[in-house]
Amino acid sequence: MPAPTPPPAELHGRILDWFDAHRRVLPWREEPSPWRVMVSEFMLQQTPVARVLPVFDAWLERWPAPADLAASPSGEAVRAWGRLGYPRRALRLHAAAVAIVERHEGRVPATYDELLELPGVGDYTAAAIASFAHGRRAVVLDTNVRRVFARVVEGVQFPAPGVVRAERDVAASLLPDDDPTAARWAAATMELGALVCTARSPRCEACPVAGLCRWRALGYPEHDGPPRRGQAWHGTDRQCRGRLLAVVRDAHEPVAPELMAAAWTDAPQRERCLDSLLDDGLLDVTPDGRFSLPA
């Protein structure tokens, strides 16, 4: 006999009570201005909280409002991004700041539709900013939330590789009716996935809804979908791009090609990655052939 679907009201009560007792103290949560939330959401994409915290603090000290960032060269945003990885996020955040100044008088918009029109803002980020910064009712589906719902409601170990309609319907059906509770629910389910219902070592003994979890009731069935692959790093183009960009980022003047060659000795891969960095707008080349951050 299949495990019953957990009652939404009971899930709400248990998870929200747990969140009130166990929520982490995070700077964008304690002072949730729309700009601070927006910066945190860009930085937290595929990056752990511990790595984001020092960069976030330095970023907000330098650029406390969208207009401050928009007035700086995009290359300075790339430099300040440091070693967070996926540096195109810095360019997108800079472009979003420019759009906020040009279209919204320097204020981060509050509605999902307006947020979705900003450069670099997709479905998740628009919903997260609307919810966490403006207290709006929105379906916020990050990796952690999706994993919690997959296990507790669907009874499977992991969700599909990409968000599917059925999954979104489940999330919408669980969303509390009023805005403030829905916003807390979004934060609470994300926190539960980050701290307890983790991908590799879920701490079911600490879970407030362990007794309602369908995956647990079914005996923790193994994932039977497409293989989940870890991200390779050593020797990849990602590593090469990161190392080349770091050379330019850490310099205070354009970098000669010889220094780039010393940073990565595989010439074909180096040239391919330099071309991709130039195509992405993360590097510029001077008339004499040296490399710099974009102006």
Three-class SS string for the chain?
CCCCCCCHHHHHHHHHHHHHHHCCCCHHHHCCCHHHHHHHHHHHCCCCHHHHHHHHHHHHHHCCCHHHHHCCCHHHHHHHHCCCCCCHHHHHHHHHHHHHHHHHCCCCCCCHHHHHCCCCCCHHHHHHHHHHCCCCCCCCCCHHHHHHHHHHHHCCCCCCCCCCHHHHHHHHHHCCCCHHHHHHHHHHHHHHHHHCCCCCCCCHHHCCCHHHCHHHHCCCCCCCCCCCCCCCCCCCHHHHHHHHHHHHHHCCCCECHHHHHHHCCCHHHHHHHHHHHHHCCCCEECCCCCEECCC
Structural domain range at position 93: 33-132
Last residue of some domain: 73, 108, 132?
A: 132
Catalytic-role residue among 10, 30, 31, 41: 41
Q: Does residue 57 lie within any of the structural domains?
A: yes
Q: What is the CATH number for 282? A: 1.10.10
Task: Indicate if 222 belongs to the active site.
Answer: no
What is the model's pTM?
0.86
Separation of alpha carbons 197 and 199, rounded Å: 7
- What is residue 1's predicted lDDT score, i.e. its pLDDT? 43
In total, how many domains does the chain have? 2
- What is residue 227's predicted lDDT score, i.e. its pLDDT? 62
Q: Does residue 208 lie within any of the structural domains?
A: no
Q: How far is CA 120 from CA 90, 91, 182, 292, 295, in A?
A: 10, 9, 25, 23, 20
Last residue of some domain: 82, 115, 132?
A: 132
Q: Who's near 233: CB < 8 A, 6+ residues apart?
A: 239
Amino acid making up residue 218: L
Amino acid making up residue 45: Q
Q: Does residue 217 lie within any of the structural domains?
A: no
Q: For each of the chain's 295 residues, which pLDDT tens digit applies?
A: 455 678 899 999 999 999 999 999 999 999 999 999 999 999 999 899 999 999 999 999 999 999 999 999 999 999 999 989 899 999 999 999 999 999 999 999 999 999 999 999 999 999 999 999 999 999 999 999 999 999 999 999 999 988 999 999 999 999 999 999 999 999 999 999 999 999 999 999 999 999 999 999 999 999 876 665 656 778 899 999 999 999 999 998 999 999 999 999 999 999 999 999 999 999 999 999 999 999 8
Q: What is the CATH number for 40? A: 1.10.340.30
- What is residue 181's predicted lDDT score, i.e. its pLDDT? 97
Q: Does residue 124 lie within any of the structural domains?
A: yes
Q: Does residue 87 lie within any of the structural domains?
A: yes
Q: Does residue 81 lie within any of the structural domains?
A: yes
- What is residue 230's predicted lDDT score, i.e. its pLDDT? 58
Q: Does residue 228 lie within any of the structural domains?
A: no
Last residue of some domain: 101, 132, 163?
A: 132
- What is residue 228's predicted lDDT score, i.e. its pLDDT? 59
Q: Does residue 75 lie within any of the structural domains?
A: yes
